[in-house]
Structure 1
């Protein structure tokens, strides 16, 4: 196994899909990967930001602001809990009706659930039914997100030049910081342009409508790739076909969980620099929401640059070494969390900016750390489930746990939470190394 822990590409040049078919260029796959991931994460971050700025007042007006935010974070986690089930369901759909049907249904469901939230009346109109419908739409988002896996990141890894594997691997990770950047910018514009009453009353709904429009554009961009004869042949030749979930877990389940925990430090940090600071500062009142969103947008740019840099770094020192080194740096960073987040606005801004910078480099290589461990026929489903469980274990409950523990027991527990993710990452990487040595 290579020290970079990336899938061994069969060719140094664009993959040829067989006689009579055009070659598949990694650059073309990369466009589909970035567009697809950015649209999906935009949906998720629109919900995440709204769960801090809007949902406590609209859906939980009967509770104090802290409790209302925690309730919103509970529903926030529902999508991550539903993702593995969505992956299993849509893998079955693909086996029966094909990849294009699967992707179309999944993105239509994702857009429908997102627009459903935009049209949803608040608690004052529907009472408890509003909360139930919000939870329902959030679960649908998670199922759809799990079903939107198209295999393009795996195909990209297989067809990337050998000496640039990590560079191409980071392209799929760019979607998350780009998605947050667009979502944060849209909320900042609306929050700045509207009065508080208008923003809470109707302004917050526009990002959800925009999410639906973006999904439509992304759907056609991705279908242009996945339904063509060339890409279908390339996916089939690379054995990137759906496998039954039970068979997957029975045969390769240990690789899924090793891969999930290997990325834990990065995924835990993700929501602790995007959603948690916004909620903590909104409750603390130490600086204005617009100021926080502005700093986070700058941080998202740093994360994009860090993600790009991670490809260059990992190609030189190895993917696994990069992930381990950044996990250690995240551990050091976590020790300063109480001092920075409980300090002045400048200290809080430093936490956000440094956190985003670390996130970019670590998250850029967090995906597919142990992909090469999967048998070829299991890589398509294995990569999807590994990502699902990494988000579930690392990120789903991060805002809820961090805000709840910090509000009741102190910010030191955020450090403990991050350190636990660091320990899990380092242990998983160590186990993975021993498994490779034994092989």
Structure 2
């Protein structure tokens, strides 16, 4: 959920020479902590959208329809993200980066924590669903505003031939955030009766979100407000530009960049959220068992993200994205047999899926943002990522469940193939544009 911006080499050195040194280790730690907190918030909601909300917020519907409504609310955060980027960029210009980030992270954490206090449908009727939707929009707005540019500092500070290695570091927040969220839910579904879990146990992971975001806030503010970072903004290497001016001047680059990571983003929520939904709704597998399988998959995801940094520095980031998209297309053909099989087949589906996700997700963020001129790169990267998540991941669980419940699991494979085709087409078009320049 992060953005990656390429910028002229040496900018970081000039900034640190003038205003003190910011070490890559400090930047990496702040980036990983920040991304982990963001993904933790979103995965806590994602898991609850399968195990909790269909029963508490939409109990008048059958389990499949209730889950579809839950996934519809899930998508609202991704709809809100581009709006949040526009709002918080303006806040940053008027009141400064510290104010912007503080408001954004408190909004993100508060929206997540507020969900833990929500009443159920049995208590207030449809008002419960509307309150849930409002909190979900708050999560999306807060996540957009939490964009801090620290991932860009890593990229700017990358030694020659190490861009892929530095690009993968922020992406490690995804497996770490998922592991924490899944472990919390696995604990409560294991040791609590279902009645207690649905009454109060599910609320504790949401309580934790606020504390996690406070830690992330201070870790990131320490660097975002540093003189070195400020100097980079002053040189316009990381300066925000007016959104509509950027779209008018370089909207084509936004469109191409938004479609480049679709293979990765479509797979992202299919292997984490949709598979949990399918297993609990249609196979009778208990949530605890499948969460543990997914936690093992998250370890594969982390290892594959690290491997993507090594591979990308040898063959190129875009080449790795292309080959990974092709591998996802092949993998999608086996979806009906693996996901529709027994526990062993589903475990194979999860582990292979998480591994492929790591290889492509590790290098997917901002892979084409170097197309933007330096004036528009900061704003272009933010909106490109927002749109990519909206198109590729926001509606993925909803679409996959809707199609598979009516037409079968082969449609999930078709959905994955469409994402792979979009990625390959975007990379091809970008290559032609570069060759013609």
Q: TM-score, normalised to structure 1's length?
A: 0.96
Q: Secondary structure at the match of 1:377?
A: coil
1:56 alignment partner, one of 54, 57, 60? 54
| Contact 2:5–2:377, Cα closer than 8 Å, also in 1 | no
CA-to-aligned-CA distance 1:77-106 (integer Å, 9 cap, x gap): 000000000000000000101111100000
| Contact 2:12–2:153, Cα closer than 8 Å, also in 1 | no
CA-to-aligned-CA distance 1:62-81 (integer Å, 9 cap, x gap): 11111110000000000000
Where does residue 421 of structure 1 map in the other structure?
419
Distance in 2 (alpha carbons) for counterparts of 1:421 and 1:74 = 20
Distance change (3 Å), C-alpha of 1:226 and 1:413: same
| Contact 1:34–1:174, Cα closer than 8 Å, also in 2 | yes
Distance in 2 (alpha carbons) for counterparts of 1:140 and 1:390 = 19
Where does residue 249 of structure 1 map in the other structure?
247
Where does residue 341 of structure 2 map in the other structure?
343
Confirm whether residue 260 of structure 1 aligns to residue 258 of structure 2: yes
CA-to-aligned-CA distance 1:164-222 (integer Å, 9 cap, x gap): 01100011111112111111111111111111111111000000110111000000000
Where does residue 41 of structure 1 map in the other structure?
39
Where does residue 298 of structure 2 map in the other structure?
300
Where does residue 25 of structure 1 map in the other structure?
23
Distance in 2 (alpha carbons) for counterparts of 1:415 and 1:66 = 20
| Contact 1:9–1:159, Cα closer than 8 Å, also in 2 | no
1:102 alignment partner, one of 97, 100, 103? 100
1:93 alignment partner, one of 83, 91, 94? 91
Where does residue 10 of structure 1 map in the other structure?
9
After superposing on structure 2, the runs of 4+ consecutive aligned residues of structure 1 that deviate more than 3 Å are none
CA-to-aligned-CA distance 1:303-361 (integer Å, 9 cap, x gap): 00000000000000000000000000000000000011111111011111110011011
| Contact 2:324–2:359, Cα closer than 8 Å, also in 1 | yes
CA-to-aligned-CA distance 1:14-54 (integer Å, 9 cap, x gap): 62316641133333221111111110111000000000000
Distance in 1 (alpha carbons) for counterparts of 2:204 and 2:320 = 39
Where does residue 365 of structure 2 map in the other structure?
367
Structure 1: gaps (5+ residues): none
Distance in 2 (alpha carbons) for counterparts of 1:251 and 1:318 = 28
**Cα distance, 1:152 vs structure 2:** 1.1
Where does residue 291 of structure 1 map in the other structure?
289
Distance in 1 (alpha carbons) for counterparts of 2:226 and 2:390 = 33
| Contact 1:15–1:25, Cα closer than 8 Å, also in 2 | no
Where does residue 170 of structure 2 map in the other structure?
172
Q: How is 1:75-86 mapped onto 2 (pairs within 5 angstroms)?
A: 75-86=73-84
Where does residue 381 of structure 1 map in the other structure?
379
1:391 alignment partner, one of 379, 389, 392? 389
Q: How is 1:136-175 mapped onto 2 (pairs within 5 angstroms)?
A: 136-175=134-173
Moved more, 328-337 or 31-40: 31-40
Q: How is 1:223-242 mapped onto 2 (pairs within 5 angstroms)?
A: 223-237=221-235, 239-242=237-240
Structure 2: gaps (5+ residues): none
Q: TM-score, normalised to structure 2's length?
A: 0.97
| Contact 2:332–2:417, Cα closer than 8 Å, also in 1 | yes
Q: How is 1:191-202 mapped onto 2 (pairs within 5 angstroms)?
A: 191-202=189-200
Distance in 2 (alpha carbons) for counterparts of 1:342 and 1:301 = 23
Distance in 2 (alpha carbons) for counterparts of 1:382 and 1:31 = 25
| Contact 1:154–1:380, Cα closer than 8 Å, also in 2 | no
Where does residue 221 of structure 1 map in the other structure?
219
Distance change (3 Å), C-alpha of 1:67 and 1:188: same
**Cα distance, 1:379 vs structure 2:** 1.4
Distance change (3 Å), C-alpha of 1:431 and 1:6: farther
Where does residue 126 of structure 2 map in the other structure?
128
| Contact 2:110–2:210, Cα closer than 8 Å, also in 1 | yes
Distance in 2 (alpha carbons) for counterparts of 1:8 and 1:239 = 7
Where does residue 269 of structure 1 map in the other structure?
267
Count of residue correspondences: 434
**Cα distance, 1:228 vs structure 2:** 1.7
Where does residue 407 of structure 1 map in the other structure?
405
Distance in 2 (alpha carbons) for counterparts of 1:24 and 1:10 = 16
